[in-house]
């Protein structure tokens, strides 16, 4: 489920967990239902529209790989692109995403390590 409304983003920012890495910022909050909610945002600090869209595409691919098996169901995530999102190699950006998931305590609560282990390779 995609997060699209500003209210949803602000709610997660205000009461969710947050972790900052050089390539991205991840915010997470527990949901009432068992769906996965995810939203992406990249500010103009990152660059022009082309750079922002490229950053969002890279973040979308990371999230789809990590959240593929619904093992993190019941959480909403906001992934915020930073200036380094486009500059970092994809493998390093992947490590940033894995590290951020670990720091917001999502990995320890999961049932199966498959999606994240696949990212570490």
Kindly list the distances between the CA atom of residue 63 and the CA atoms of 40, 48, in Å, as whole numbers in the listed order. 10, 23
Residue 1 falls inside a structural domain: no
Total tally of structural domains belonging to the chain: 1
Residue 94 falls inside a structural domain: yes
Query: In 3-state terms, what secondary structure has residue 29?
Result: strand
Assigned token pair, 32:
């009432």
* pLDDT, one tens digit for every residue, the chain (121 residues): 889 899 999 999 999 889 999 999 999 998 888 888 999 999 999 999 999 999 999 999 999 888 776 667 788 999 999 999 999 999 999 999 988 888 876 554 555 455 555 555 4
Domain of 44, in residue numbers: 6-108
Residue 67 falls inside a structural domain: yes
Burial of 95 (0-12, 13-18, 19+ CB in 10 A): middle
Residue 70 falls inside a structural domain: yes
0.85 cut: is pTM over it?
no
CATH number at residue 60: 3.30.230.10
Residue 119 falls inside a structural domain: no
């Amino acid at each position: 489920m995609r997060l699209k409304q500003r209210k949803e983003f602000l709610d997660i920012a205000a009461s969710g967990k947050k972790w900052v890495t050089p390539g991205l910022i991840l915010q997470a909050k527990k949901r009432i239902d068992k769906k996965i909610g995810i939203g992406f945002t990249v500010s103009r600090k990152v660059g022009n529209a082309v750079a922002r869209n490229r950053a969002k595409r890279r973040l979308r691919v990371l999230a789809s790989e990590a959240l593929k098996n619904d093992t993190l169901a019941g959480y909403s995530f906001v992934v915020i692109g930073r200036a380094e999102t486009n500059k970092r190699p994809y493998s390093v950006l992947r490590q940033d995403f894995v590290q951020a998931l670990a720091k917001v305590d999502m990995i320890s609560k999961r049932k199966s390590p498959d999606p994240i282990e696949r990212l570490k390779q």
